[in-house]
Structure 1
């Protein structure tokens, strides 16, 4: 076997025209496909990356004045499509005034129900009952740093005193996570604000006038839900609407458009690769078969020397794999050149992170293995033909 492999490689080096033709055929098909695959990767991954970089993409909010209880939130949390889930109080009471403890400067801000696991929070950040996270805009205006104490202040015309909640700032959110002036807190904080407006007594906060909290029912206006992944957003939104008979708001249409684009690009790439493979297979099969036919006397001479047909079939297979390896090296080299040229030509600003043309190392390895398997398969007809070489052909041809 080693002798046949060595002879096949030396013959391939000696017959450079055959090698160059096979490499040219492979590169002519592979390079355009690699560029198309790379562009599909770069553009699609950039679009998906933009969606995922904005946590609001996965968010679903119920609309209208509905009635939800804590068990409803637990029900949604148990669904496989759902990630973070929290209840929402009435939006009428979401706006509050905030200031740093001991400071004089105040700003109005939007109070948003949140909690540990909220995709808007940086990794590793938790929100306890007395913790909040603030938006970058609010932090800049009030010079808020993590670890500061923040006072949330609200007042109602029919209440003699303000409600002041002093909370710990655990995080300042990135600008992309929360715009404007906003404060993320557990829904229990928002529930206290709502109870204040509903004229309930909160003696632990100095509000002694009003109805006792024991009379308050645990009802909420809505749900704030995040899907686990983009692919489950539409299904989760539909399930919430059907389960609770409510309207919801989400960026489902935008997400579905991007996901459909990815599926259509994959189909187009598979169709193009399939058509190209047919032509490539025909060229390689007839090329390898023609080369075996041309070397029939050489193969017959090897058979006459005792190298049987069970080893002769390796001759075209080894040459095919060697040609495939050379073709892959040339193809990936030309792909890198074409990718660099595409980056210069199309300055779309779409793919600052990953590049317009992108093929990962893992993808490149898989492509290489598939190409070698394809080339080896295309050489099997020639291998079968070589394995049937009869030494008598040498005698009939007068070879000694």
Structure 2
């Protein structure tokens, strides 16, 4: 019988695999020592990277997935022409921008009946690609609006209900009030916008400001007063960055324009700093553990090969070529690593559950403390097998020097 590198017979490969497995079962004490040494490295590494992914990735995703963290809020009012808004809209860092009227003109009363109403609710202009309304239908005209969950709860309003929007002004010493009826087109969650607000088309907000400035506002059925001029300037912008990395450049651009803005830049920088520090810590721990594991495995495999020189020589005497003996050692290493990884995975599951149980209660709802995805685990397993393959290959180089005659000397 000969198993050489020219032979790809599945039966012979199966025989070699069976011999490798049976040898590990027979010499199980040594095999268990190697397995446990691997488990002692793999399990803590899985838990460490699970914690890193669970905590840091969650913080990063919360920042990224919450559009409010991408908002750049302009402080104060100014007079910005349409060309200024067009310039901002063409910046690659900008995801969404829409003009805003003066702050005092972005509030109105929303009423369903005498028992369900909101005084001075926020009225916010919206348009296509609004990050806050990406999951709902955008108001396409001045007859529909979108309510925040807070506003909908106070009004006891549902999608399809009619609500009235009231605005007030004092013209020539006379207090006046105008209204317009809207249909609730959608409701957005508190995670998108926690305060009581209604999202409307820009025309509605412009009409509200025109009315309070004493102009005619046909949108609200008001024909008294001076006819409003076409709007060419706005007080500020409602602006969202494309991603977290775009916050800083936009913040710098506004400051160069001497425009005061408020962003979540400090919070974003803090999370990035935490992520960087933890990446360094975990990388150092991982490399130290990996090098220790490699050194331990090299010693264990080399010692095991020296201990089994007679067995290797017998295999050579029975017709196994050098390639077959090398493959025999590699197969044993891969089998041991696979068993160790399965055991480490079980310990990781127990540790992950304990972390989530003990620490999860101190985090917001739906938070996770320790988590690895299927692809993370697959990469970890492939990495462990690769390390075992490299170490086994070093041992195989030592094994190929064993001659069949060594087995005859012991007879």
Does structure 1 residue 5 correspond to structure 2 residue 17? yes
- Structure 2 residue aligned with 1:19: 31
1:63-87 deviation line (CA, Å, top 9, x unaligned): 2222323343333333333222211
Does structure 1 residue 285 correspond to structure 2 residue 292? no
Answer yes or no: is the 8 Å Cα contact 1:42–1:351 preserved in 2. no
- Structure 1 residue aligned with 2:171: 158
Q: Distance in 2 between matches of 1:310 and 1:347?
A: 52
Answer yes or no: is the 8 Å Cα contact 1:313–1:383 preserved in 2. yes
Match for residue 308 of structure 2 among 290, 295, 302: 295
Match for residue 190 of structure 1 among 197, 205, 208: 205
Residue 112 of structure 1 aligns to a residue in which SS?
strand
Q: CA offset at residue 329 of structure 1?
A: 0.8
Q: Distance in 2 between matches of 1:323 and 1:239?
A: 58
Does structure 1 residue 107 correspond to structure 2 residue 118? yes
Answer yes or no: is the 8 Å Cα contact 2:70–2:244 preserved in 1. yes
Residue 170 of structure 1 aligns to a residue in which SS?
strand
- Structure 1 residue aligned with 2:332: 319
Does structure 1 residue 234 correspond to structure 2 residue 248? yes
State how 1:246-257 maps to structure 2 within 5 Å: 246-257=259-270
Answer yes or no: is the 8 Å Cα contact 2:136–2:188 preserved in 1. no
Does structure 1 residue 60 correspond to structure 2 residue 75? no
Does structure 1 residue 221 correspond to structure 2 residue 244? no
Match for residue 40 of structure 2 among 28, 43, 63: 28
Does structure 1 residue 81 correspond to structure 2 residue 93? yes
Match for residue 275 of structure 1 among 266, 276, 288: 288
- Structure 1 residue aligned with 2:394: 381
Q: CA offset at residue 367 of structure 1?
A: 0.6
Q: TM-score, normalised by structure 1?
A: 0.90
Answer yes or no: is the 8 Å Cα contact 2:39–2:340 preserved in 1. yes
Does structure 1 residue 363 correspond to structure 2 residue 371? no
Distance of aligned partners of 1:173 and 1:365 in 2 relative to their CA distance in 1, 3 Å threshold: same
Residue 316 of structure 1 aligns to a residue in which SS?
helix
Residue 157 of structure 1 aligns to a residue in which SS?
strand
- Structure 1 residue aligned with 2:131: 119
Matched residue count: 395
Answer yes or no: is the 8 Å Cα contact 1:137–1:181 preserved in 2. yes
1:170-190 deviation line (CA, Å, top 9, x unaligned): 122323333343211122211
Does structure 1 residue 40 correspond to structure 2 residue 52? yes
- Structure 2 residue aligned with 1:201: 216
Q: CA offset at residue 382 of structure 1?
A: 0.4
Distance of aligned partners of 1:112 and 1:351 in 2 relative to their CA distance in 1, 3 Å threshold: closer
Moved more, 62-71 or 273-282: 62-71
- Structure 2 residue aligned with 1:143: 156
Answer yes or no: is the 8 Å Cα contact 1:46–1:351 preserved in 2. no
Task: Tell me how large the CA RMSD over aligned residues is.
Answer: 2.4
Q: CA offset at residue 95 of structure 1?
A: 1.8
1:132-164 deviation line (CA, Å, top 9, x unaligned): 112233323333221123322222212665333
Structure 1 gap ranges (5+): none
Answer yes or no: is the 8 Å Cα contact 1:66–1:246 preserved in 2. no
Q: Distance in 2 between matches of 1:305 and 1:179?
A: 77
1:71-121 deviation line (CA, Å, top 9, x unaligned): 433333333332222111110211212223x87865321212223332322
Does structure 1 residue 331 correspond to structure 2 residue 344? yes
Answer yes or no: is the 8 Å Cα contact 1:5–1:314 preserved in 2. no
Q: Distance in 2 between matches of 1:177 and 1:342?
A: 29
